[in-house]
């Protein structure tokens, strides 16, 4: 009994970290860092966040750090409940689930996954592009469902497109975009790009107009963040400019594409195909896409590999440690001015 | 006696009679033949594989040459029939010719053509595509989505592997094997281990130069190693891609014992020839090792798969599509047609079967040569000096 009380006291002495979501890596992270932080996990309770904190005698003013995942929206309302909050650590590279303007107003620092997932996401982008262009998933499905090889010969299966020599437009030439470019260059692709700004350090041709980029390209790969400027950056006009032989891959955010128009263009044969890891209203996926042979679908898994999960735990723990030791964050997120 | 097969005839009054056992992609190959006084007969029978009897019926009494497919059994019987009909040439629409008894062709004085040079990039690319699909479990994920099972993001859904820093093993570092190795090393910063009877100096130099480039940029350099034995590759590599030729020594190269030597979570890719793998043993291995993954473009007894393979989630199976891009297949059709045409016209053999670009340039007349004749030396055929 005395030991239990001692454990409880020593837990209370640890810095408190409120876990919202809970994020991807929490199962792995918790045992590694439970001796350093007292994790409060409302997910294990049926109570609302406010009631959870009061019920467990954790005054909101005692919570200075939050750990969350991309699936939890940290809105201004959530921030209001946590007056002492000074840090949000998110396990995602994207931050569109956090009200960054409100964080800035309240003096809350934000740390993300930084470039941790760049190579995993880049691998996935290339995997989706090669799959949809060379028809890997479609061919696999064709072969498994084929009953009689003599009446539906193998050479009935339609040709894919070779990657070598194709012009690929990368939208968002940040760390992920650069990694995608490097990979595609090894396949003999010609790289072009659109980004917020022209990059002085790269020799790839820059296009400020999405329509011009699409007109020039055989494929587009979306690697940019979702914000007001990039919402529906791929609209009908861009898709028509890309053309009937063109392919779109999205490993960014679903809202980068006008999904209704994408479905229409695919159904009408206005574009060649798509590889999608993200969707506009997840987990809803338009039913029409499920029946199409020229699309490859993935359940928002671009960032997750065995390797990235381990690295993510270390990074999240490292950011929390840095904060509580008054050191600079490892992967701070720039807050809007 | 075989049933009469349906055919489509081009240029009926042509001087030379050439038969194609299958319709082939594109029209350039057809035009090149008919412009050179060839009566072309294309078999349009809806059958995956024509029997020896079917092909003998197609050859008939007078035939100058045949364009055939890898699935046909070109041995003593067919070369005898072709020779009797006055035939001088047969060409596979493929790089490989393990379906051809070259000794029998030599005996009857028939030139055997194949279509290398056009396939390197596209086959290496397919091997890389299968590697990525297996490593990131793309096909499984796509099937899951289509089944309507996605009801919210979960961290454990189809967690694959990052390729960077892993070791890619290449067995057979010829043109295709080397092209694949370069893609994986340069594109994904993988380390390389390869096994080949011959040293691949160009590949080694490429990886060495790339390692130096990475080091100069403050990144971890990639490494390479030429393995002394094939088993060394199987034991050390995370991803193994097979690119050997198929002959007596490579039949069932990957068998039960060798599968057991591989890492439990290895990925095995085959875009070479089906019989290089003991497919029945592979099915058993996949069943007992759910984390082991495979990407297959070729099968032991095409067009069939060994029982159980189609039901396995850790296998990606595609119907021999390594060369299935429009440009490649049309190029193969052109080269196969020009092999037969060249021999019929008495042209010499092209000086380098891997430098076939002049034959594929649609805006110029192809060289007066046979692009690639595998038994040119045995038949004493002259070589083009171009």
What is the reported pLDDT for A12? 59
Determine which of A51-55, A238-242, B146-150, B308-312 has the lowest per-residue pLDDT on average.
A51-55
Q: Report CA torsion sign: B112, B117, B120, B122.
A: negative
User: Does B214 reach chain A within 8 Å, measured CB to CB?
Assistant: no
User: Are A224 and A288 in a shared domain?
Assistant: yes
User: Does B129 reach chain A within 8 Å, measured CB to CB?
Assistant: yes
User: Does B291 reach chain A within 8 Å, measured CB to CB?
Assistant: no
pLDDT for B357 beyond 80: no
B46 contacts A153? CB cut-off 8 A: yes
User: pLDDT digit string (tens) for A209-245?
Assistant: 999 999 999 999 999 999 988 999 999 999 999 999 8
Write the residue in A137, A154, A291 that is nearest to B319 by C-beta.
A154
SS3 of residue A97 by DSSP: coil
Q: Going by DSSP bridges, is the β-strand pair A219-222/A109-111 parallel, antiparallel, or unpaired?
A: unpaired
- Closest by CA position to B16, among listed B34, B42, B4: B34
pLDDT for B132 beyond 50: yes
User: Are A218 and A163 in a shared domain?
Assistant: yes
The DSSP element (H or E) to which A28 belongs, if any, is helix A26-33
Region B354-381: mean pLDDT is 91
User: Are A129 and A58 in a shared domain?
Assistant: no
What is the reported pLDDT for A47? 86
Q: How far are the Cα atoms of A27, A56, A65, A82, A88 from residue A53, in angstroms, in the given order?
A: 21, 5, 14, 10, 17
CATH assignment of the domain containing A204: 3.40.50.720
Is the distance from CB of B20 to CB of B42 less than 8 angstroms? yes
Task: Report how far residue A166's alpha carbon sits from residue A186's, in angstroms, rounded to the nearest whole number.
Answer: 12
User: Are A289 and A144 in a shared domain?
Assistant: yes
Q: Which residues of B touch A161 (CB under 8 A)?
A: 325-326
- Sheet containing B315-317: order of strands: B224-226, B191-195, B167-171, B239-242, B267-270, B293-296, B315-317
End-to-end CA distance of chain B: 46
Task: Report how far residue B184's alpha carbon sits from residue A186's, in angstroms, rounded to the nearest whole number.
Answer: 8
- Name the pLDDT band for B46 (thresholds 50, 70, 90): low
Write the residue in B133, B159, B164 that is nearest to A127 by C-beta.
B133
Residue A49 lies in domain: 1-112+303-336
Q: Which residues of A touch B214 (CB under 8 A)?
A: none
User: Are A255 and A153 in a shared domain?
Assistant: yes
What is the reported pLDDT for B1? 40
Q: Which residues of B touch A22 (CB under 8 A)?
A: none
The DSSP element (H or E) to which A30 belongs, if any, is helix A26-33
A141 contacts B157? CB cut-off 8 A: no
Q: Which residues of A are catalytic?
A: 253, 282, 300
Task: Report how far residue A8's alpha carbon sits from residue A13's, in angstroms, rounded to the nearest whole number.
Answer: 9
Region B78-99: mean pLDDT is 94
User: Are A129 and A162 in a shared domain?
Assistant: yes
- Which chain A residue shows the shortest CA-CA distance from B139? A137
Task: Report how far residue A204's alpha carbon sits from residue A219's, in angstroms, rounded to the nearest whole number.
Answer: 15
User: pLDDT digit string (tens) for B162-205?
Assistant: 999 999 999 999 979 999 998 999 999 999 999 999 999 989 99
User: Does B187 reach chain A within 8 Å, measured CB to CB?
Assistant: yes
Token pair for residue B173?
């570092």
- Which chain A residue shows the shortest CA-CA distance from B188? A183
Is the distance from CB of A125 to CB of A251 less than 8 angstroms? yes
B155 contacts A25? CB cut-off 8 A: yes
Task: Report how far residue A297's alpha carbon sits from residue B305's, in angstroms, rounded to the nearest whole number.
Answer: 26
Write the residue in B132, B152, B319 that is nearest to A139 by C-beta.
B319
What is the reported pLDDT for A45? 83
User: Are A7 and A24 in a shared domain?
Assistant: yes
Q: Which residues of B touch A25 (CB under 8 A)?
A: 155
- List the alpha helices (DSSP H) in chain B: 28-34, 52-59, 76-84, 102-107, 120-135, 138-146, 175-188, 201-216, 230-236, 256-261, 279-288, 326-345, 357-360, 376-379
B160 contacts A305? CB cut-off 8 A: yes
User: Does B192 reach chain A within 8 Å, measured CB to CB?
Assistant: no
The DSSP element (H or E) to which A212 belongs, if any, is helix A210-216
State how far residue B99 is from chain A, nearest Cα, in angstroms: 18
State how far residue A145 is from chain B, nearest Cα, in angstroms: 9
- CB-based burial of residue B12 (10 Å sphere; 0-12 exposed, 13-18 middle, 19+ buried)? exposed
**Number of domains forming the structure of chain A:** 2
Task: Report how far residue A66's alpha carbon sits from residue A20's, in angstroms, rounded to the nearest whole number.
Answer: 7
User: pLDDT digit string (tens) for B227-244?
Assistant: 999 999 999 999 999 999
User: pLDDT digit string (tens) for A97-138?
Assistant: 999 999 988 999 999 999 899 999 999 999 999 999 999 999
User: Are A95 and A230 in a shared domain?
Assistant: no
Region A61-71: mean pLDDT is 92
How many residues are recorded in chain A?
A: 337
What is the reported pLDDT for B318? 95
pLDDT for B45 beyond 90: no
User: pLDDT digit string (tens) for B157-174?
Assistant: 799 999 999 999 999 999
Contacts of B210 by beta carbon, 8 Å cutoff, 6+ apart: B185, B186, B222
What is the reported pLDDT for A177? 98
User: Does B290 reach chain A within 8 Å, measured CB to CB?
Assistant: no
Q: Going by DSSP bridges, is the β-strand pair B38-43/B7-10 parallel, antiparallel, or unpaired?
A: antiparallel
Write the residue in B145, B151, B161 that is nearest to A290 by C-beta.
B145
Check if B320 is active-site.
yes
- Name the pLDDT band for B248 (thresholds 50, 70, 90): confident
Is the distance from CB of A211 to CB of A241 less than 8 angstroms? yes
What is the reported pLDDT for A8? 52
For residue A284, the cross-strand partners are A281
- Which chain A residue shows the shortest CA-CA distance from B118? A162
Q: Which residues of A touch B133 (CB under 8 A)?
A: 127, 130-131, 136-137
Look at phi and psi of residue A167 and say left if phi exceeds 0, alpha if psi is from -120 to 50, else beta.
beta
Region B32-41: mean pLDDT is 95
User: Are A48 and A104 in a shared domain?
Assistant: yes
- Name the pLDDT band for B49 (thresholds 50, 70, 90): confident
Region B319-339: mean pLDDT is 89
For residue A74, the cross-strand partners are A98
Q: Which residues of B touch A157 (CB under 8 A)?
A: 319, 321, 324
Q: Considering chain A, what is the average pLDDT of its residues?
A: 89
User: pLDDT digit string (tens) for A152-208?
Assistant: 555 546 778 888 999 899 999 999 999 999 899 999 999 999 998 898 999 999 999
State how far residue B54 is from chain A, nearest Cα, in angstroms: 15
Best mutation target, B141, B301, B328, to test chain A (most A CBs within 10 A): B141
Instruction: Go through the domains of chain B in sequence order and give each one's CATH number.
Output: 7-114+347-379 (3.40.50.720), 119-317 (3.40.50.720)
Task: Report how far residue B357's alpha carbon sits from residue B366's, in angstroms, rounded to the nearest whole number.
Answer: 9
Task: Report how far residue B342's alpha carbon sits from residue B350's, in angstroms, rounded to the nearest whole number.
Answer: 10
Contacts of A164 by beta carbon, 8 Å cutoff, 6+ apart: A187, A188, A189, B121, B122, B125
Write the residue in B163, B182, B302 that is nearest to A123 by C-beta.
B163
- Closest by CA position to B127, among listed B158, B172, B97, B164: B172
User: Are A160 and A283 in a shared domain?
Assistant: yes
Q: Which residues of B touch A127 (CB under 8 A)?
A: 129, 132-133, 135-136, 138
Is the distance from CB of B117 to CB of B353 less than 8 angstroms? yes
User: Are A69 and A182 in a shared domain?
Assistant: no
Contacts of A59 by beta carbon, 8 Å cutoff, 6+ apart: A53
- List the alpha helices (DSSP H) in A47-117: 49-55, 76-80, 100-106
Alpha-carbon Rg for chain A, nearest whole angstrom, is: 23
Q: Which residues of A touch B129 (CB under 8 A)?
A: 127, 130-131, 134, 136
- CB-based burial of residue B221 (10 Å sphere; 0-12 exposed, 13-18 middle, 19+ buried)? middle
Q: How far are the Cα atoms of A322, B184, B254, B295, B298 from residue B272, in angstroms, in the given order?
A: 52, 17, 12, 12, 7
pLDDT for B117 beyond 60: yes
What is the reported pLDDT for A28? 86
Task: Report how far residue B304's alpha carbon sits from residue A144's, in angstroms, rounded to the nearest whole number.
Answer: 11
Is the distance from CB of A24 to CB of A73 less than 8 angstroms? no
User: Does B108 reach chain A within 8 Å, measured CB to CB?
Assistant: no
- Closest by CA position to A304, among listed B30, B234, B162, B32: B162
Write the residue in B153, B318, B324 that is nearest to A143 by C-beta.
B318
How does A199-233 read in b/e, with b if 16+ C-beta sit within 10 Å? eeeeebeebeebeebbbebbbbbbbbbbbeebebb
User: Are A184 and A91 in a shared domain?
Assistant: no
DSSP state letter for A256? G
């Amino acid at each position: 009994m005395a030991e239990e009380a001692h454990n409880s006291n020593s837990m209370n002495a640890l810095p408190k970290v409120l876990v919202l979501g809970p994020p991807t890596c929490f199962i792995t992270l918790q045992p590694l860092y439970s001796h350093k932080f007292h994790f409060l996990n409302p997910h294990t309770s049926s109570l609302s966040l406010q009631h959870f904190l009061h019920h467990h005698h954790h005054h909101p003013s005692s919570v200075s750090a939050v750990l969350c995942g991309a699936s939890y929206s940290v809105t201004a309302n959530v921030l209001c409940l946590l007056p002492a909050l000074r840090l949000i650590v998110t396990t995602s590279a994207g931050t569109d689930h956090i009200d960054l303007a409100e964080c800035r107003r309240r003096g809350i620092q934000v740390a993300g996954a930084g470039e941790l997932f760049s190579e995993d996401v880049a691998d996935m982008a290339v995997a989706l592009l090669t799959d949809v262009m060379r028809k890997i998933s479609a061919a696999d499905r064709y072969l498994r469902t084929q009953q009689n090889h003599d009446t539906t010969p193998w050479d009935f299966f339609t040709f894919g497109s070779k990657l070598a020599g194709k012009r690929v437009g990368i939208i968002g030439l940040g760390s992920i975009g650069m990694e995608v470019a490097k990979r595609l260059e090894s396949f003999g692709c010609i790289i072009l790009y659109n980004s917020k700004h022209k990059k002085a350090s790269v020799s790839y041709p820059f296009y400020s107009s999405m329509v011009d980029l699409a007109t020039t390209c055989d494929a587009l790969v979306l690697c940019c963040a979702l914000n007001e400027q990039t919402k529906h950056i791929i609209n009908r006009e861009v898709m028509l400019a890309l053309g009937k032989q063109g392919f779109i891959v999205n490993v960014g955010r679903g809202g980068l594409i006008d999904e209704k128009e994408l479905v229409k263009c695919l159904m009408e044969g206005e574009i060649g195909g798509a590889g999608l890891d993200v969707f506009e209203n997840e987990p809803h996926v338009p039913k029409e896409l499920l029946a199409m042979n020229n699309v490859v679908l993935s359940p928002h898994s671009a960032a997750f590999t065995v390797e990235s999960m381990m690295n993510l735990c270390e990074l999240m723990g490292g950011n929390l440690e840095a904060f509580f030791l008054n050191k600079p964050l490892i992967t701070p997120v720039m807050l809007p001015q | 006696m075989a049933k009469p097969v349906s055919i489509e005839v081009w240029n009926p009054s042509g001087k030379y009679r050439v038969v194609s056992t299958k319709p082939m992609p594109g029209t350039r190959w057809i035009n090149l033949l008919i412009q050179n006084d060839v009566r072309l007969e294309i078999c349009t029978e809806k059958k995956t594989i024509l029997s020896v009897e079917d092909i003998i019926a197609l050859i008939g009494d007078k035939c100058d040459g045949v364009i055939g497919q890898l699935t046909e059994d070109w041995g003593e019987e067919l070369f005898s029939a072709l020779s009797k009909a006055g035939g001088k040439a047969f060409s596979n629409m493929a790089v490989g010719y393990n379906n051809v008894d070259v000794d029998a062709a030599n005996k009857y004085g028939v030139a055997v053509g194949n279509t290398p040079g056009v396939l390197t990039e596209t086959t290496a690319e397919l091997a890389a595509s299968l590697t990525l699909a297996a490593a990131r479990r793309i096909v499984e994920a796509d099937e899951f989505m289509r089944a309507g099972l996605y009801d919210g993001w979960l961290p454990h859904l189809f967690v694959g592997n990052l390729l960077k820093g892993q070791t890619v093993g290449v067995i057979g570092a010829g043109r295709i094997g080397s092209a694949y190795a370069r893609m994986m090393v340069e594109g994904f910063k993988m380390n390389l281990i390869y096994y080949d009877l011959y040293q691949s100096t160009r590949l080694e130099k490429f990886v060495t130069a790339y390692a130096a480039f990475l080091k100069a940029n403050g990144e971890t350099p990639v490494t390479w190693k030429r393995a002394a034995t094939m088993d060394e590759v199987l034991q050390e590599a995370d991803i193994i891609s097979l690119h050997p030729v198929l002959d007596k020594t490579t039949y069932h190269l990957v068998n039960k014992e060798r599968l057991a030597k591989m890492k439990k979570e290895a990925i095995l890719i085959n875009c070479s020839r089906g019989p290089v793998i003991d497919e029945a043993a592979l099915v058993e291995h996949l069943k007992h090792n759910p984390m082991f993954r495979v990407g297959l473009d070729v099968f032991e007894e095409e067009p069939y798969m060994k029982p159980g393979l189609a039901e396995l989630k850790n296998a990606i199976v595609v119907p021999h599509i390594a060369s299935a891009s429009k440009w490649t297949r049309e190029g193969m059709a052109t080269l196969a047609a020009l092999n037969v045409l060249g021999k019929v016209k008495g042209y010499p053999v092209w000086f380098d079967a891997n430098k076939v670009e002049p034959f594929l340039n649609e805006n110029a007349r192809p060289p007066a040569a046979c692009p690639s004749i595998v038994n040119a030396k045995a038949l004493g055929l002259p070589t083009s000096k171009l």
